[in-house]
């Protein structure tokens, strides 16, 4: 869930987000000696509001960059966030407990579909 933190960088540095994620994942894979280690990556938080909304100032920059990641990084899938409820009482983008549970169920489903989840 790194993308939304890119908003804190200078505007000129934000487009480098996919390359930074690619480097982080490459480094982790190299450190572990697992060049094909699967990656579950959170899609942009589609129920965010305000500047973080998909159509907000941050969303219009970071959403398309996040969606580039599966094409840049092998064995990476985006875990969708559509219809995941957020904690209205807390802020404008974090999931509530039900949202976290739905996200985890979706992630496990993706792992099963991809053959990354050996447990039945």
Mean pLDDT confidence for 76-97:
78
89 occurs within a structural domain: yes
What mean pLDDT is reported for the chain?
86
In what helix (H) or strand (E) does residue 42 lie, and over which residues does it extend?
strand 39-42
pLDDT of 76 higher than 90: yes
Q: Which range marks the domain in which residue 19 is found?
A: 3-114
9-16: long-range contacts (C-beta < 8 A, 24 or more apart)? 14/61, 14/62, 14/65, 15/61, 15/65
Q: Which of 47-56, 70-79, 89-98 has the highest mean pLDDT?
A: 70-79
Tell whether 48 is covered by a domain.
yes
* Chain position carrying tokens 């992630």: 107
Write down the pLDDT at residue 49. 79
pLDDT at residue number 2: 56
In a domain, 119, yes or no: no
In a domain, 120, yes or no: no
Q: What is the CATH number of the domain that holds 91?
A: 3.40.50.1110
In a domain? residue 47: yes
Q: How many domains does the chain have?
A: 1
Model pTM score:
0.84
Whether 19 maps to a domain, the answer reads: yes
Tens digits of per-residue pLDDT, 29-51?
999 999 999 999 989 888 887 88
């Amino acid at each position: 869930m790194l993308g939304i933190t890119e908003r804190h960088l200078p505007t000129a540095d934000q487009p480098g987000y996919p390359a930074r994620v690619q480097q982080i994942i490459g480094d982790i894979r190299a450190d572990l000696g697992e060049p094909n280690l699967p990656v579950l990556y959170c899609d942009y938080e589609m129920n965010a509001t305000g500047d973080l909304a998909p159509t907000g100032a941050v969303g219009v920059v970071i959403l398309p960059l996040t969606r580039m990641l599966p094409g840049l990084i092998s064995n990476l899938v985006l875990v969708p966030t559509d219809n995941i409820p957020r904690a209205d009482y807390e802020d404008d983008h974090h999931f509530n407990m039900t949202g976290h549970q739905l996200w985890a169920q979706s992630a496990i489903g993706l792992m099963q579909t991809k053959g990354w989840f050996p447990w039945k």
